[in-house]
Amino acid sequence: MKMKYLLNRAMSLMILVFGGVLVSCDSDDPTPVEPDPLNSKYTVGASVDGEGYYLTTDDIQVGDISVVGNGFEGWANLSASVDGFIYILNNTEGLTEKFELTDNGPVKVDAISNSALAPEGFFRYIINTGNGDLFLTDFPNEEGKAPYAIIDLEGFTVESFGFMDVPDVNGKNALWTNAVIEGDKIYVGSLYGDRENWTQLADSLITLKYDYPSLTNPEVLVSTASAGTTAGYRTNGTFKVENGDIYQYNLNSFQWNGNNELAGKPTVFVRIKDGEYDDSYVLDVSAEYDEPIAIWNAWYAGNNIVYANVVKEADIPAWGDLLQNTGTLVEINLASKSVTELNLPNASYRDIFSLNCVEDGKFYVPVSVTGGDAHIYEITIGGGPDGFRKGSKLDGSNVFVNALFRNF
Protein backbone atom coordinates (compact mmCIF):
# COMPACT_ATOMS: atom_id res chain seq x y z
CA MET A 1 0.00 0.00 0.00
CA LYS A 2 1.29 3.40 -0.86
CA MET A 3 2.21 5.29 2.31
CA LYS A 4 2.55 9.00 2.89
CA TYR A 5 5.53 9.85 5.01
CA LEU A 6 4.66 12.38 7.70
CA LEU A 7 7.55 14.42 9.03
CA ASN A 8 7.07 14.94 12.73
CA ARG A 9 10.10 16.65 14.17
CA ALA A 10 10.83 18.95 17.07
CA MET A 11 12.61 21.58 14.92
CA SER A 12 10.80 23.74 12.40
CA LEU A 13 11.00 22.44 8.86
CA MET A 14 11.10 24.53 5.76
CA ILE A 15 9.40 22.93 2.79
CA LEU A 16 10.24 23.83 -0.79
CA VAL A 17 8.19 22.89 -3.80
CA PHE A 18 10.04 21.64 -6.88
CA GLY A 19 8.09 20.29 -9.84
CA GLY A 20 5.13 19.30 -7.68
CA VAL A 21 7.22 17.22 -5.26
CA LEU A 22 7.55 18.37 -1.67
CA VAL A 23 11.14 18.18 -0.45
CA SER A 24 12.27 18.67 3.13
CA CYS A 25 15.18 21.01 3.74
CA ASP A 26 16.09 19.12 6.92
CA SER A 27 19.31 17.38 5.88
CA ASP A 28 18.85 14.71 8.59
CA ASP A 29 15.73 13.33 6.91
CA PRO A 30 15.42 14.16 3.22
CA THR A 31 12.58 11.67 2.65
CA PRO A 32 10.16 13.31 0.18
CA VAL A 33 6.45 13.53 0.83
CA GLU A 34 4.66 12.01 -2.15
CA PRO A 35 2.24 14.36 -3.88
CA ASP A 36 -1.28 13.18 -4.56
CA PRO A 37 -1.83 11.86 -8.10
CA LEU A 38 -3.08 14.38 -10.61
CA ASN A 39 -6.85 14.71 -11.07
CA SER A 40 -7.57 12.16 -8.35
CA LYS A 41 -8.79 14.17 -5.38
CA TYR A 42 -12.46 13.21 -5.87
CA THR A 43 -14.33 10.30 -7.42
CA VAL A 44 -17.65 10.93 -9.16
CA GLY A 45 -19.85 8.00 -10.13
CA ALA A 46 -22.99 8.30 -12.22
CA SER A 47 -25.72 6.42 -14.01
CA VAL A 48 -26.21 7.58 -17.60
CA ASP A 49 -29.11 6.01 -19.46
CA GLY A 50 -28.90 3.09 -17.05
CA GLU A 51 -25.16 2.48 -17.59
CA GLY A 52 -22.50 3.06 -14.94
CA TYR A 53 -19.53 5.42 -15.35
CA TYR A 54 -17.04 7.07 -13.04
CA LEU A 55 -14.05 9.35 -13.11
CA THR A 56 -11.62 11.06 -10.79
CA THR A 57 -11.07 14.81 -10.79
CA ASP A 58 -9.43 17.60 -8.82
CA ASP A 59 -12.29 20.05 -9.33
CA ILE A 60 -15.97 19.61 -8.53
CA GLN A 61 -16.84 23.30 -8.30
CA VAL A 62 -15.89 24.89 -11.64
CA GLY A 63 -16.93 23.98 -15.16
CA ASP A 64 -18.58 20.84 -16.47
CA ILE A 65 -17.93 17.20 -15.64
CA SER A 66 -18.48 14.64 -18.39
CA VAL A 67 -18.24 11.02 -17.32
CA VAL A 68 -19.00 9.53 -20.73
CA GLY A 69 -15.88 9.41 -22.85
CA ASN A 70 -13.69 10.88 -20.11
CA GLY A 71 -14.12 8.35 -17.35
CA PHE A 72 -14.39 4.61 -16.93
CA GLU A 73 -17.24 2.25 -17.62
CA GLY A 74 -18.53 0.50 -14.52
CA TRP A 75 -20.25 1.19 -11.24
CA ALA A 76 -18.41 2.96 -8.42
CA ASN A 77 -21.49 3.34 -6.22
CA LEU A 78 -20.47 0.38 -4.02
CA SER A 79 -16.91 1.31 -3.20
CA ALA A 80 -14.46 2.49 -0.56
CA SER A 81 -11.48 4.82 -0.93
CA VAL A 82 -8.52 4.22 1.39
CA ASP A 83 -4.96 5.61 1.24
CA GLY A 84 -4.70 6.12 -2.51
CA PHE A 85 -6.66 3.04 -3.56
CA ILE A 86 -10.30 2.55 -4.52
CA TYR A 87 -11.98 -0.79 -3.79
CA ILE A 88 -15.05 -1.49 -5.91
CA LEU A 89 -17.66 -4.23 -5.60
CA ASN A 90 -18.06 -5.46 -9.16
CA ASN A 91 -21.14 -7.61 -8.66
CA THR A 92 -21.56 -8.08 -12.40
CA GLU A 93 -18.40 -10.19 -12.48
CA GLY A 94 -18.41 -11.28 -8.83
CA LEU A 95 -15.21 -9.43 -7.89
CA THR A 96 -13.82 -7.04 -5.32
CA GLU A 97 -11.47 -4.92 -7.41
CA LYS A 98 -8.53 -2.81 -6.24
CA PHE A 99 -7.56 0.32 -8.19
CA GLU A 100 -4.53 2.49 -7.56
CA LEU A 101 -4.95 6.21 -8.11
CA THR A 102 -2.25 7.43 -10.48
CA ASP A 103 -1.57 10.50 -12.65
CA ASN A 104 -3.26 8.55 -15.44
CA GLY A 105 -6.38 7.84 -13.41
CA PRO A 106 -7.42 4.70 -11.52
CA VAL A 107 -5.43 1.64 -12.58
CA LYS A 108 -6.64 -1.83 -11.66
CA VAL A 109 -3.90 -3.63 -9.75
CA ASP A 110 -5.66 -6.62 -8.18
CA ALA A 111 -8.96 -8.40 -7.69
CA ILE A 112 -10.48 -10.96 -5.36
CA SER A 113 -13.03 -13.43 -6.66
CA ASN A 114 -16.11 -13.33 -4.45
CA SER A 115 -17.47 -16.57 -5.86
CA ALA A 116 -15.92 -18.65 -3.09
CA LEU A 117 -16.94 -16.15 -0.43
CA ALA A 118 -20.66 -15.63 -1.00
CA PRO A 119 -23.56 -17.12 -2.97
CA GLU A 120 -23.27 -16.06 -6.62
CA GLY A 121 -20.27 -13.92 -5.62
CA PHE A 122 -22.60 -11.12 -4.53
CA PHE A 123 -22.18 -8.60 -1.71
CA ARG A 124 -24.47 -5.64 -1.18
CA TYR A 125 -22.28 -3.46 1.04
CA ILE A 126 -18.57 -2.67 1.34
CA ILE A 127 -17.46 -0.96 4.56
CA ASN A 128 -14.10 0.56 5.44
CA THR A 129 -13.81 -0.38 9.12
CA GLY A 130 -11.04 2.12 9.84
CA ASN A 131 -9.05 -0.74 11.35
CA GLY A 132 -7.12 -1.76 8.24
CA ASP A 133 -9.73 -3.96 6.63
CA LEU A 134 -12.89 -4.01 4.57
CA PHE A 135 -16.11 -5.67 5.68
CA LEU A 136 -18.35 -7.07 2.94
CA THR A 137 -21.87 -8.23 3.70
CA ASP A 138 -25.34 -8.93 2.34
CA PHE A 139 -28.83 -9.56 3.69
CA PRO A 140 -29.57 -12.73 5.69
CA ASN A 141 -30.73 -15.70 3.66
CA GLU A 142 -33.80 -17.87 4.30
CA GLU A 143 -31.91 -19.64 7.07
CA GLY A 144 -31.10 -16.44 8.91
CA LYS A 145 -27.44 -16.36 7.92
CA ALA A 146 -25.78 -13.32 6.36
CA PRO A 147 -22.73 -13.85 4.12
CA TYR A 148 -19.68 -11.77 4.99
CA ALA A 149 -15.99 -11.41 4.18
CA ILE A 150 -13.21 -9.46 5.88
CA ILE A 151 -10.43 -8.29 3.56
CA ASP A 152 -7.06 -7.14 4.89
CA LEU A 153 -6.03 -3.95 3.11
CA GLU A 154 -2.29 -4.28 3.64
CA GLY A 155 -1.97 -7.48 1.62
CA PHE A 156 -5.38 -7.38 -0.09
CA THR A 157 -6.11 -10.85 1.20
CA VAL A 158 -9.20 -12.48 2.68
CA GLU A 159 -8.84 -12.68 6.47
CA SER A 160 -12.07 -14.60 6.98
CA PHE A 161 -15.40 -15.25 5.36
CA GLY A 162 -18.53 -17.24 5.96
CA PHE A 163 -22.01 -16.68 7.34
CA MET A 164 -22.97 -14.55 10.29
CA ASP A 165 -25.78 -16.02 12.38
CA VAL A 166 -28.58 -13.44 12.58
CA PRO A 167 -31.00 -14.52 15.32
CA ASP A 168 -34.77 -14.26 15.18
CA VAL A 169 -36.27 -11.76 17.62
CA ASN A 170 -39.70 -12.35 19.15
CA GLY A 171 -40.56 -14.78 16.38
CA LYS A 172 -39.59 -12.36 13.61
CA ASN A 173 -36.81 -12.77 11.04
CA ALA A 174 -34.09 -10.32 10.01
CA LEU A 175 -34.89 -9.09 6.49
CA TRP A 176 -32.43 -6.26 5.91
CA THR A 177 -29.07 -5.58 7.57
CA ASN A 178 -26.14 -3.17 7.37
CA ALA A 179 -23.31 -2.65 9.81
CA VAL A 180 -20.80 -0.27 11.38
CA ILE A 181 -17.69 -1.26 13.33
CA GLU A 182 -16.63 0.51 16.52
CA GLY A 183 -13.56 -0.88 18.25
CA ASP A 184 -13.97 -4.60 18.87
CA LYS A 185 -17.73 -4.54 18.29
CA ILE A 186 -19.88 -4.53 15.19
CA TYR A 187 -23.37 -3.00 15.29
CA VAL A 188 -25.79 -4.41 12.73
CA GLY A 189 -28.83 -2.27 12.01
CA SER A 190 -31.80 -4.28 10.83
CA LEU A 191 -35.38 -4.63 9.71
CA TYR A 192 -37.32 -7.51 11.27
CA GLY A 193 -40.51 -9.13 10.01
CA ASP A 194 -41.88 -12.21 8.25
CA ARG A 195 -39.32 -13.58 5.81
CA GLU A 196 -41.92 -15.26 3.63
CA ASN A 197 -43.61 -12.08 2.41
CA TRP A 198 -41.82 -9.20 4.20
CA THR A 199 -44.85 -8.37 6.32
CA GLN A 200 -45.65 -8.34 10.06
CA LEU A 201 -42.77 -5.95 10.66
CA ALA A 202 -41.43 -5.38 14.16
CA ASP A 203 -42.97 -2.58 16.22
CA SER A 204 -39.57 -1.44 17.52
CA LEU A 205 -36.02 -0.65 16.39
CA ILE A 206 -33.61 -3.58 16.56
CA THR A 207 -29.82 -3.64 16.39
CA LEU A 208 -27.54 -6.65 16.78
CA LYS A 209 -24.16 -6.30 18.48
CA TYR A 210 -21.38 -8.84 17.88
CA ASP A 211 -17.74 -9.19 18.83
CA TYR A 212 -15.52 -8.14 15.95
CA PRO A 213 -13.83 -9.61 13.98
CA SER A 214 -14.99 -12.98 15.32
CA LEU A 215 -18.69 -12.12 14.68
CA THR A 216 -19.64 -14.14 17.74
CA ASN A 217 -21.70 -13.48 20.90
CA PRO A 218 -24.69 -11.75 19.29
CA GLU A 219 -26.63 -9.43 21.59
CA VAL A 220 -30.03 -7.96 20.71
CA LEU A 221 -30.54 -4.25 21.38
CA VAL A 222 -34.13 -2.92 21.25
CA SER A 223 -35.46 0.63 21.24
CA THR A 224 -39.18 1.42 21.44
CA ALA A 225 -38.69 4.98 20.14
CA SER A 226 -40.29 4.03 16.80
CA ALA A 227 -40.49 1.30 14.15
CA GLY A 228 -38.89 0.58 10.78
CA THR A 229 -35.41 -0.31 9.62
CA THR A 230 -32.20 0.93 11.22
CA ALA A 231 -30.16 -0.49 8.32
CA GLY A 232 -30.82 2.44 6.01
CA TYR A 233 -31.59 2.07 2.33
CA ARG A 234 -28.87 2.93 -0.18
CA THR A 235 -26.76 4.37 2.62
CA ASN A 236 -26.15 2.96 6.07
CA GLY A 237 -28.73 3.92 8.69
CA THR A 238 -26.18 3.41 11.47
CA PHE A 239 -23.03 5.52 11.89
CA LYS A 240 -20.55 6.49 14.56
CA VAL A 241 -19.48 9.95 15.63
CA GLU A 242 -16.13 11.18 16.85
CA ASN A 243 -16.57 10.17 20.50
CA GLY A 244 -17.51 6.58 19.58
CA ASP A 245 -21.28 6.94 20.10
CA ILE A 246 -23.52 5.27 17.53
CA TYR A 247 -26.50 7.08 15.98
CA GLN A 248 -29.29 5.68 13.84
CA TYR A 249 -32.24 6.99 11.90
CA ASN A 250 -35.20 4.78 11.05
CA LEU A 251 -36.64 4.38 7.58
CA ASN A 252 -40.34 3.98 8.25
CA SER A 253 -42.58 4.65 5.28
CA PHE A 254 -46.02 3.72 4.05
CA GLN A 255 -44.09 2.42 1.01
CA TRP A 256 -42.01 0.27 3.37
CA ASN A 257 -44.40 -0.86 6.05
CA GLY A 258 -47.63 -2.67 5.22
CA ASN A 259 -49.06 -1.88 8.67
CA ASN A 260 -50.45 1.66 8.54
CA GLU A 261 -50.42 1.99 12.31
CA LEU A 262 -46.71 1.18 12.48
CA ALA A 263 -45.99 3.19 9.33
CA GLY A 264 -47.39 6.22 11.11
CA LYS A 265 -44.77 6.03 13.83
CA PRO A 266 -42.30 8.95 13.73
CA THR A 267 -39.02 9.32 11.91
CA VAL A 268 -36.39 9.64 14.63
CA PHE A 269 -32.69 9.55 15.44
CA VAL A 270 -31.67 7.38 18.38
CA ARG A 271 -28.33 6.81 20.09
CA ILE A 272 -26.37 3.76 21.19
CA LYS A 273 -23.99 4.70 24.00
CA ASP A 274 -21.62 2.36 25.83
CA GLY A 275 -23.01 -0.56 23.84
CA GLU A 276 -26.68 -0.01 24.69
CA TYR A 277 -29.58 2.07 23.42
CA ASP A 278 -29.63 5.36 25.33
CA ASP A 279 -33.35 5.80 26.02
CA SER A 280 -32.74 9.38 27.20
CA TYR A 281 -31.93 10.47 23.64
CA VAL A 282 -34.55 10.67 20.87
CA LEU A 283 -34.59 13.29 18.12
CA ASP A 284 -38.10 13.34 16.62
CA VAL A 285 -37.68 14.66 13.06
CA SER A 286 -41.36 14.08 12.26
CA ALA A 287 -42.32 16.66 14.90
CA GLU A 288 -40.83 19.35 12.63
CA TYR A 289 -43.47 18.65 9.96
CA ASP A 290 -47.26 18.85 9.87
CA GLU A 291 -47.57 15.76 7.67
CA PRO A 292 -45.94 12.30 7.57
CA ILE A 293 -42.37 12.18 6.28
CA ALA A 294 -39.63 9.57 5.83
CA ILE A 295 -35.85 9.72 5.56
CA TRP A 296 -34.66 7.66 2.59
CA ASN A 297 -30.94 8.42 2.87
CA ALA A 298 -28.67 10.23 5.32
CA TRP A 299 -24.95 11.04 5.36
CA TYR A 300 -22.71 11.98 8.27
CA ALA A 301 -20.65 15.16 7.77
CA GLY A 302 -18.76 15.15 11.08
CA ASN A 303 -19.10 17.06 14.34
CA ASN A 304 -22.63 15.74 14.97
CA ILE A 305 -23.99 17.08 11.66
CA VAL A 306 -26.08 14.86 9.39
CA TYR A 307 -27.56 15.64 5.99
CA ALA A 308 -30.75 13.75 5.23
CA ASN A 309 -33.06 13.19 2.26
CA VAL A 310 -36.52 13.94 3.66
CA VAL A 311 -39.52 12.92 1.55
CA LYS A 312 -43.13 13.78 2.31
CA GLU A 313 -45.21 10.62 2.22
CA ALA A 314 -47.97 12.37 0.26
CA ASP A 315 -45.51 12.89 -2.61
CA ILE A 316 -44.88 9.17 -3.11
CA PRO A 317 -48.21 7.38 -3.65
CA ALA A 318 -46.14 4.75 -5.47
CA TRP A 319 -42.60 3.60 -4.68
CA GLY A 320 -41.33 4.59 -8.12
CA ASP A 321 -42.19 8.21 -7.39
CA LEU A 322 -39.02 8.38 -5.31
CA LEU A 323 -37.22 8.78 -8.65
CA GLN A 324 -39.06 12.05 -9.18
CA ASN A 325 -38.10 15.36 -7.58
CA THR A 326 -39.58 14.46 -4.19
CA GLY A 327 -36.53 14.73 -1.94
CA THR A 328 -35.60 17.70 0.25
CA LEU A 329 -32.13 17.99 1.78
CA VAL A 330 -32.08 18.95 5.45
CA GLU A 331 -29.25 19.55 7.91
CA ILE A 332 -29.68 17.84 11.28
CA ASN A 333 -27.61 18.74 14.32
CA LEU A 334 -27.59 15.70 16.58
CA ALA A 335 -26.27 17.68 19.54
CA SER A 336 -28.73 20.60 19.49
CA LYS A 337 -31.50 18.47 17.93
CA SER A 338 -32.15 21.14 15.30
CA VAL A 339 -33.52 20.44 11.82
CA THR A 340 -32.79 22.98 9.05
CA GLU A 341 -34.34 22.62 5.61
CA LEU A 342 -32.00 23.80 2.85
CA ASN A 343 -33.31 25.81 -0.09
CA LEU A 344 -31.77 23.46 -2.60
CA PRO A 345 -33.79 22.16 -5.56
CA ASN A 346 -36.06 19.25 -4.76
CA ALA A 347 -34.52 16.22 -6.41
CA SER A 348 -34.27 12.46 -6.37
CA TYR A 349 -31.66 11.79 -3.71
CA ARG A 350 -32.77 8.17 -3.53
CA ASP A 351 -29.92 6.48 -5.36
CA ILE A 352 -26.88 8.20 -3.88
CA PHE A 353 -25.11 5.13 -2.52
CA SER A 354 -21.69 6.50 -1.55
CA LEU A 355 -21.34 10.07 -0.33
CA ASN A 356 -18.31 10.94 1.76
CA CYS A 357 -17.08 14.35 0.69
CA VAL A 358 -16.31 16.84 3.47
CA GLU A 359 -13.54 19.44 3.35
CA ASP A 360 -12.74 22.63 5.31
CA GLY A 361 -16.21 22.98 6.82
CA LYS A 362 -17.95 22.23 3.52
CA PHE A 363 -20.16 19.29 2.61
CA TYR A 364 -20.44 18.39 -1.06
CA VAL A 365 -23.54 16.69 -2.43
CA PRO A 366 -24.76 15.83 -5.94
CA VAL A 367 -28.20 17.16 -6.83
CA SER A 368 -29.60 15.28 -9.84
CA VAL A 369 -32.89 16.81 -10.93
CA THR A 370 -35.20 14.47 -12.82
CA GLY A 371 -35.86 16.12 -16.17
CA GLY A 372 -33.18 18.70 -15.45
CA ASP A 373 -29.48 19.02 -14.80
CA ALA A 374 -27.14 17.47 -12.27
CA HIS A 375 -24.79 19.68 -10.25
CA ILE A 376 -22.38 19.24 -7.38
CA TYR A 377 -23.32 21.66 -4.58
CA GLU A 378 -20.98 23.03 -1.92
CA ILE A 379 -22.81 23.39 1.40
CA THR A 380 -21.39 25.43 4.26
CA ILE A 381 -21.90 23.23 7.31
CA GLY A 382 -24.06 25.17 9.76
CA GLY A 383 -24.54 27.93 7.19
CA GLY A 384 -28.33 28.00 7.32
CA PRO A 385 -30.98 27.44 4.65
CA ASP A 386 -29.10 29.43 1.98
CA GLY A 387 -25.55 28.50 2.96
CA PHE A 388 -24.60 26.81 -0.31
CA ARG A 389 -23.41 27.46 -3.83
CA LYS A 390 -23.83 25.59 -7.10
CA GLY A 391 -20.71 23.89 -8.42
CA SER A 392 -19.79 21.73 -11.39
CA LYS A 393 -22.48 20.65 -13.83
CA LEU A 394 -22.67 17.12 -15.18
CA ASP A 395 -23.56 16.80 -18.83
CA GLY A 396 -27.12 15.91 -19.73
CA SER A 397 -30.43 15.59 -17.94
CA ASN A 398 -30.11 11.80 -18.02
CA VAL A 399 -27.23 11.84 -15.51
CA PHE A 400 -27.87 10.68 -11.94
CA VAL A 401 -24.86 10.89 -9.64
CA ASN A 402 -24.78 7.87 -7.33
CA ALA A 403 -21.32 8.29 -5.78
CA LEU A 404 -19.16 11.20 -4.67
CA PHE A 405 -16.25 10.79 -2.33
CA ARG A 406 -12.96 12.39 -1.51
CA ASN A 407 -9.84 10.28 -2.02
CA PHE A 408 -7.29 12.59 -0.41
Does residue 31 lie within any of the structural domains? yes
The fraction of the chain above a pLDDT of 70, given in percent, is: 92
Which structural domain, as residue segments, surrounds residue 7? 1-35
Does residue 305 lie within any of the structural domains? no
In order, the DSSP letters of 96-145 are EEEEEEETTEEEEEEEEE-TTTSGGG--SEEEE-SSSEEEEE----TTSE
Banded model confidence at residue 249, pLDDT cuts 50, 70, 90: very high
| pLDDT at residue number 17 | 30
Dihedral sign of CA atoms 236, 299, 264, 225 in order: positive
| pLDDT at residue number 239 | 95
Q: Is residue 99 a contact partner of residue 106, using CB atoms and an 8 Å limit? A: yes
Q: pLDDT tens digit string along 45-84? A: 999 988 999 999 999 999 999 998 888 999 999 999 999 9
Residues pairing with 332 in the sheet:
306, 339
| pLDDT at residue number 258 | 81
Q: Is residue 205 a contact partner of residue 228, using CB atoms and an 8 Å limit? A: yes
How far from chain centre, in Å, is Cα 237?
9
User: Cα-flanking dihedrals φ and ψ of residue 290, to 5°?
Assistant: -100, 15
**Helix, strand, coil percentages in the chain from 3-state DSSP, rounded to 5:** 5, 50, 45
| pLDDT at residue number 398 | 77
Q: pLDDT tens digit string along 133-153? A: 999 999 999 999 999 999 999
Does residue 348 lie within any of the structural domains? no
Mean pLDDT in residue range 214-234: 97
Q: Is residue 256 a contact partner of residue 199, using CB atoms and an 8 Å limit? A: no
- Tell which residue, 303, 154, 333, 165, has the closest CA to residue 241: 303
CA-angle at 174, arms to 172 and 177, nearest 5°: 155
Among 17-21, 73-77, 112-116, 388-392, whose mean pLDDT is lowest? 17-21
- What ranges in 132-267 are assigned the alpha helix state H? 260-263
> What is the total count of domains within the chain?
1
Banded model confidence at residue 27, pLDDT cuts 50, 70, 90: very low
Q: pLDDT tens digit string along 10-22? A: 333 332 232 333 2
Arithmetic mean of pLDDT over the chain = 90
| pLDDT at residue number 160 | 98
The Cα 94–Cα 114 span in angstroms is 5
The Cα 135–Cα 132 span in angstroms is 10
Encode 22-43: b = buried (16+ Cβ within 10 Å), e = exposed: eebeeeeeeeeeeeebebbbbb
Does residue 41 lie within any of the structural domains? no
How far from chain centre, in Å, is Cα 103?
26
User: What secondary structure letter does DSSP report for 260?
Assistant: H
Task: Give the predicted TM-score (pTM) of the model.
Answer: 0.90
Does residue 13 lie within any of the structural domains? yes
Q: Is residue 301 a contact partner of residue 307, using CB atoms and an 8 Å limit? A: yes
Dihedral sign of CA atoms 169, 170, 175, 177 in order: negative
Does residue 246 lie within any of the structural domains? no
User: Cα-flanking dihedrals φ and ψ of residue 261, to 5°?
Assistant: -65, -45
In order, the DSSP letters of 261-291 are HHHTSPPEEEEEETTEEEEEEEEESGGGSSS
Does residue 176 lie within any of the structural domains? no
The Cα 29–Cα 6 span in angstroms is 11
Sheet holding 105-113, edge to edge: 79-82, 85-90, 95-102, 105-113
Does residue 150 lie within any of the structural domains? no
